[in-house]
């Protein structure tokens, strides 16, 4: 059976990996919707290669540019613009599978729309789980949507859990440690955006690369795992594993620990999601532990040098709006850091100050979460602005 796939965030790193795997299986999957934020030229190039039925650019000012580019290329692809169009296409008949690979909380509306429509959801957009995890999981369950996590650790847990009949007693998420593993706070104070995005093991978009350097990525992943696998935060452990070959470990009541191993390449996770429950080829070769150095090392993360991980686990324990506030403050701080407006250590300082300014409130619906997101961004921005002038 031919399955139609919507790739949201098609011009990004996960988008490229998804399209690579899709192109390897022309008889079973086809990219039918491609969506991107602002890079029209990159989106047009993808449309020429993959010939989707629909292409969407989030920025409405770029609609004419997309439409004319598609026409000039002689493509039958229909042009659309705006967040609402992305969400509508993700929920509609144009696709069976949605790869949610937009970066940031802006991805929530399309992720939720796909869940509500009962699609198979290949979920890379971890910020939507951090912002509204309970709501998203509840929505997916009610609609019968299958979520396959597209984060290497969570995809590993998904694989270890198999048919899902046994409940894990503990989950271990591994972390590469990022480019600054072993660095002191003094050294971290001076790091540049270029150093922070140069990840030693994974090639990823700029925002998640900075998150990996601060260890906030692992903090977001603890929250993500809590929602995906309905396991308390206290039963989720993080271990630094510099080789990035073991992606996660799952403990069971009988003393068994299952782990998933593989080369650090997101095409494996995407192939698991696209082929599930079958295994399909991804272009990633099997792991040869000897040629990878023959060692698997593990160590505790340094929470004093990398306070973001602790900020995230504390926000998870606090619950309510706290994870939404954490995520929004982090997005603003990372964006300011990438623009050269604040230093690396200002990232945790900003998040911590915003969390202090907005005590957690209960949130059973989307509105209080979106309000908390907005309030956190506004406080983070004014703090960043004041710091820039100082």
Min CB(384)–Mg ion separation in Å = 26
List Cβ neighbours of 255 (8 Å cut-off, separation of 6 or more): none
Cα dihedral value 334, 340, 343, 346, nearest 10:
-40
**Residue 352: burial class (beta carbons within 10 Å; 0-12, 13-18, 19+):** middle
Which phi-psi region, left, alpha or beta, contains residue 343 (left: φ > 0; alpha: ψ -120 to 50)?
beta
Contact segment (CB under 6 A) with ligand NAD among 34-42, 114-122, 180-188, 372-380 equals 34-42
> Is residue 90 involved in binding ligand NAD (CB under 6 A)?
no
Nearest by Cα to 120 from 302, 243, 278, 247:
278
Convert residues 142-181 into a mask of x (bound to Mg ion by CB under 5 A) and - (unbound). Answer: ---------xxx----------------------------
Among residues 5, 89, 101, 284, the one that binds ligand NAD under rule CB under 6 A: 101
What is the distance in angstroms between the CA of the first residue and the CA of the last residue of the chain?
61
Angstrom CA distances, 166 to 150, 245, 300, 381, stand at 21, 25, 27, 45
Min CB(127)–Mg ion separation in Å = 13
| 373, interface contact from ligand NAD, Mg ion, none, CB < 5-8 Å by kind | none
Min CB(260)–ligand NAD separation in Å = 15
Is 35 or 284 the residue whose CB approaches ligand NAD more closely? 35
Contact segment (CB under 6 A) with ligand NAD among 62-70, 71-79, 182-190, 200-208 equals 200-208
> Is residue 208 involved in binding ligand NAD (CB under 6 A)?
yes
Dist CA 243 CA 198 (whole Å): 16
> Is residue 9 involved in binding ligand NAD (CB under 6 A)?
yes
Among residues 37, 273, 301, 323, the one that binds ligand NAD under rule CB under 6 A: 37
> Is residue 377 involved in binding ligand NAD (CB under 6 A)?
no
Min CB(284)–ligand NAD separation in Å = 13
The C-alpha angle with vertex 14 and arms to 69 and 110, in degrees rounded to 5, equals 75
Dist CA 373 CA 139 (whole Å): 20
Is 84 or 287 the residue whose CB approaches Mg ion more closely? 287
| 320, interface contact from Mg ion, ligand NAD, none, CB < 5-8 Å by kind | none
**Residue 324: burial class (beta carbons within 10 Å; 0-12, 13-18, 19+):** buried
> Is residue 270 involved in binding ligand NAD (CB under 6 A)?
no
Min CB(8)–ligand NAD separation in Å = 7
The C-alpha angle with vertex 125 and arms to 222 and 224, in degrees rounded to 5, equals 15
Among residues 45, 65, 75, 106, the one that binds ligand NAD under rule CB under 6 A: 106
β-pair type (257-261, 246-251): antiparallel
Residues that bind ligand NAD (CB under 6 A): 9-15, 35-37, 39, 58, 101-103, 106, 124-127, 151, 202, 204-208, 266
Residues that bind Mg ion (CB under 5 A): 151-153
């Amino acid at each position: 059976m031919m399955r139609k796939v919507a790739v949201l965030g098609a011009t990004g790193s996960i988008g490229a990996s998804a399209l690579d795997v899709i192109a390897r299986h022309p008889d079973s999957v086809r990219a039918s919707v491609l969506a991107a934020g602002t890079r029209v030229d990159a989106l047009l190039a993808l449309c020429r290669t993959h010939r989707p039925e629909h292409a969407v650019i989030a920025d409405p000012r770029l609609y004419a540019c997309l439409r004319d580019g598609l026409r000039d290329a002689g493509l039958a692809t229909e042009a659309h613009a705006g967040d609402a169009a992305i969400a509508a296409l993700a929920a509609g008949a144009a696709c069976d599978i949605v790869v949610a690979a937009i970066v940031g909380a802006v991805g929530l509306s399309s992720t939720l729309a796909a869940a509500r429509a009962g699609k198979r959801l290949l979920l890379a957009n971890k910020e939507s789980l951090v912002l509204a995890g309970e709501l998203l999981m509840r929505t997916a369950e009610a609609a019968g949507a299958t979520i396959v996590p597209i984060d290497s650790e969570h995809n590993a847990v998904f694989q270890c859990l198999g048919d899902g009949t046994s409940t894990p007693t503990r989950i271990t998420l591994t972390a590469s440690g990022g480019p600054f593993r072993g660095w002191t706070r003094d050294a971290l104070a001076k790091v540049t955006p270029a150093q922070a995005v140069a990840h030693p093991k994974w090639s990823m978009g700029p925002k998640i690369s900075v998150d990996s350097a601060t260890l906030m990525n692992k903090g977001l992943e603890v929250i993500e795992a809590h929602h995906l696998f309905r396991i308390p935060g206290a039963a989720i452990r993080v271990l630094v594993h510099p080789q990035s070959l073991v992606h996660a470990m799952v403990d069971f009541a009988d003393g068994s620990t299952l782990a998933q191993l593989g080369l650090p390449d997101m095409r494996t996770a995407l192939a698991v999601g696209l082929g599930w429950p079958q295994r399909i080829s991804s272009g990633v070769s099997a792991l040869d532990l000897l040629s990878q150095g023959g060692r698997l090392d593990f160590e505790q993360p340094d929470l004093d040098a990398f306070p973001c991980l602790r900020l995230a686990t504390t926000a998870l324990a606090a619950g309510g709006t706290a994870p939404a506030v954490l995520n929004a403050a982090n997005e603003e701080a990372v964006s300011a850091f990438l623009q050269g407006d604040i230093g690396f250590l200002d990232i945790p300082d900003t998040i911590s100050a915003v969390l202090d300014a907005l005590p957690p409130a209960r949130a059973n619906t989307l509105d209080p979460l979106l309000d908390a997101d907005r309030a956190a961004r506004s406080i983070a921005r004014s703090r960043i602005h004041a710091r820039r002038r100082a």
